[in-house]
Every structure is written in structure tokens, then in C-alpha cells.
Structure 1
Amino acid sequence: MKDIILFDYWRSSASYRVRIVLNLKGVPYTSVPTSLLENEHKARAYVARNPQGFVPMLSIDGHDLTQSLAIIDYLDAQYPDPAMVSSNPADRARTLAQALIIAADIHPVDNLRVLRYLKEQMGQSQEAIDTWYRHWITEGFTALEAMAPEDGLFGGDLPNLADVCLVPQMANARRLDTPLDAFPKLVRMDAALTALPAFAAAHPDQVKPE
């Protein structure tokens, strides 16, 4: 089997998700840091393999896979234990809905390229941009808090895709000083998840290049 290579950026929450799942499934991989700040994701050779020029990209089984949830879906098919979504259709749909609140609703509008556009093309101040960032986190977290269980994780006893998406977004929320008092269930789950070795090893502080 050829080496599995993850092209990622240490602070990218989408990359963080994939690192968590690789760790949960015990899949060994080699990391290739790809700096968003230095535009390494826009290099010609990289874009030839990943036309969007985003991170993460996972080179596996002769494929260059892109988009974090698509990568995780592939890993779930190839390495089914532990499963990130249930085989029960209703439970699967519920988990996907929770995960997509983060991956489709919060994350895209708080992405670095959007924040750069707000500053460089729209002339917004850093204060205004930070307010924008916190607004979309708060809106999404309000819905997730209502969906969260009183005990346990989104996945019950074991983390699932929604839990995998939650932890990186909680890290982003804290980095931007987003108030979290209104989200006690999310805070509780985040504390339980980040204590797990697979999540702890994937944390940006653990993979940040020297």
C-alpha cells in the first residue's frame, strides 16, 4: 500500500476534521503542510491535482480526494470502524444535518478567503470582520445546542461525524473570543471530545510547523 498523504494547514478546521477521523480509525498518514497564508494551496502543481486549491487534500489509493466531508465519507467506506454515520437512515440524516450546520453553514462564510475578501475588496475593519465571524458561529451554535443531547456525545457513547465537525469549530470560536455561555451542552461535549487521544493529537497546536 502506498503512503497516505494529507495536504493540510495546521489551523484549517476542515483539515482538523480529517486528522481526527484518520486518528480515530487508526489510519497512518504522512502530513504535508500546505500554508494558506503563503498561498501554497494556489501553487500550479497543487491546483493541477486539486482544482479548487483548497485544503485538505488526501492522496490515498491512487486518488486525490478533496472536500473534508467527502474525504471522511471515503475513509468511512474503506475503514468502517468506528463509523462516522449510522446505517439507520433517520439517524444518518440527523447526523449529517448536525454536521452540515457547521460544514455548510458556519464554516464557508467564516473561511479565510471570505475574511480576506471582506478586508481587501470590501474595505471592512478587523473589528467588523471579527463581529461577522462571531455572528455566524453563534447562529449555528444556537441550533446545534437545541439539537444536542443532555448527556453523551452527538454520537452517543462514541464520536460521530457531528462530533468531529464540532471540535474544530469550537476551537475557532474560542480563538475569536466568541461567548459560549449560551451553549453549555456544546461546551460539555467539546471538553469530553478533546480529552480523547485521537482528538488531542489532531489539535492545531500539536501539528503546527516549527
Structure 2
Amino acid sequence: MATPNAAPSERTRVRRLPERATYDAEAIAAVVDAAPLAHIGFAHEGSVHVIPTAVWREGGHLYIHGAKASRLLKALVASECCVTLSLLDGLVMARSAFHHSMNYRSVVVYGRFETVDGTAAKFRSLQAFMEKLSPGRWNALRPVSDKELNATTVLRLSLAEASLKARSGGPKDDDEDMAWPVWAGVLPLSLQAGAPQTDPQSVVREAPSVPLRWG
């Protein structure tokens, strides 16, 4: 694994504003854990595709899952891909249009997915996915059947070839614009859960209190 200041490969090296980059494994893992979705870019049968999908992390790998018959999953184990995860933390409102920006955290991962084989390994991975969605819910659910496990493919991608780029803080205006009479600052943004909407046929009527672990 790369050190915080050294890119693990040439294609992961951040060239535009490299001072915003880090290659630290713990920092990268924190963004993966906080992001509910990733976008996976790959080439397949003469076309380029970018597919959004839910992700989770175990150790040094990023995981996805899908139907066993999925063409996407089959393509991902056959060739290289690029996975991106982004968190938008705020709108940076400057004194000029040119210096408006966003506060963000983004991770880019390169590599090739591999299949998670074995019923027990798939079971553990899907349990970890549910823990990311709703901590503690797995044990309350109807147990996963062998048929469901067999119909599901779980893939994992090493995080060894990844980079993190982030921006934080306020606007960076030109000195001559500092006295311009317009509001400047940051509008923070975050992912928030709304009020639960109970299924009309739910046997349990009161929704559990589940902390949101994303963002």
C-alpha cells in the first residue's frame, strides 16, 4: 500500500492541484465507508459504460453485488475498470463567479474485480453490506436462502491502487475582490434521512431508530 504522499501507480497520481491529494489507505477507506454509491467505468463490446451501484468495504477491498446472470459483473472480472466515489460537503460561494467551488471528498480506484467464491464468504460479505445500510438489521431479517445466495454474485476490488482528492474551507478570492458587496462563505451539504414510510402490510408498525452512517 502506498504512503500518504506517494501515488501507488502513475494512473492514480493526481496532477491537477496535487496538494489536495492523498494516497493514505485509512483516509481512502473512510470515504468508501461514507459513500453509499459508486460509479464504475468500463469498456465492453466496443462501448464505454458507467454504471452506478451500491458498495461496501471489508478490509482493503471494495465490494459490489448483483444477479448471477448480470452482464456487468461478468464484464468487470474480464477487464480493467475505474471506480469513483464522491461526497459533496458544501457549496463555496465566492465574490466572483470564477472562484465559486465545492467542498468535496472523492476517491478513484483502478483495477480488476474478482469473484468472491464460496457460500460462507458470500454470506459474510452480504452481511457486511447490510450492516452498512442498517446496523443490526441483519439478525432481525428472514434468513437468506441457499437459492438466493446461489443467484447472487459478489465481487471485490482491491483498494491498493487508489487516490483521494478533497477540498475544504472557504472561498479563495482575489485580493482586489475582497471588498465586493456580496455574501461569501460556505453552504454545508450533507446526506440526511427523512421520516420513515411504513409499508402498509408491515407487521411491525414502528420503524427502528437507525443512525445514518453515510456522508
TM-score over 0.5 for the alignment? no
Under a length normalisation based on structure 1, what TM-score does the superposition of the two structures give?
0.23
TM-score of the aligned structures, taking structure 2 as reference length: 0.23
Larger Rg: 2
* Higher share in helix: 1
Between Structure 1 and Structure 2, which shows a larger proportion of strand residues? 2
